[in-house]
Structure 1
Amino acid sequence: MRFLTADYLFPLDQKPIKEGVVIVDKSGKIISVIDSRKKVPTNKLEVFEGIISPGFINAHCHLELSYLQNKISKQVGLVDFIKELQLKKINNENIYEAIEYAENLMIKNGIVGVGDICNTDYTLKQKVKKNLKYYNFIELYAVKTNQVEKCFNDAKCLKKKFVKHNLQSTIVPHSTYGVHPRLMHMILNYMQENDLISIHNLETESERDYLQKKEGNIFKWLKQLDADLSIWSEKPNSYELINNFNKQTIFVHNTFAKKIEVENKLCCTCPNANLFIEGVLPSYDKFDKDTLCVGTDSLASNENLSILEELLIIQNNSTYCLNTLLKIGCLNGAKALKFNTLGSIFEGKSPGLNLITNIKNLKLTNESIVKPLLN
Structure 2
Amino acid sequence: MNKISFVDLNLQHQPIQHQLQQAIQAVLAQGDFILGQALADFEGAFAAASGTKYGIGVASGTDAIALGLQACNIGAGDEVILPANTFVATLIGVLRAGAKPIFVDCDPQTALIDLEAAAKAVTPQTKAIIPVHLYGQMVSPLQLLDFADTYKLLIFEDAAQAHLAEREGYRAGSVGIAAAFSFYPSKNLGAFGDGGMLLTKDADVAQKMVRLRNYGASQKYVHVESGTNSRLDTLQAAVLLTKLPHLPQWNGDRLRIAQEYDQELAPLADVGISPLQNHSHTGHVYHLYVIRVDDVCPLKRQQIQDKLTAVGIQTGIHYPIPCHLQPAFTYLGYQPGDFPQAEKLAQQILSLPMYPGLSSSQIQAVVEAIASTLSSEQQQLLCI
Q: TM-score, normalised by structure 1?
A: 0.23
Higher helix share: 2
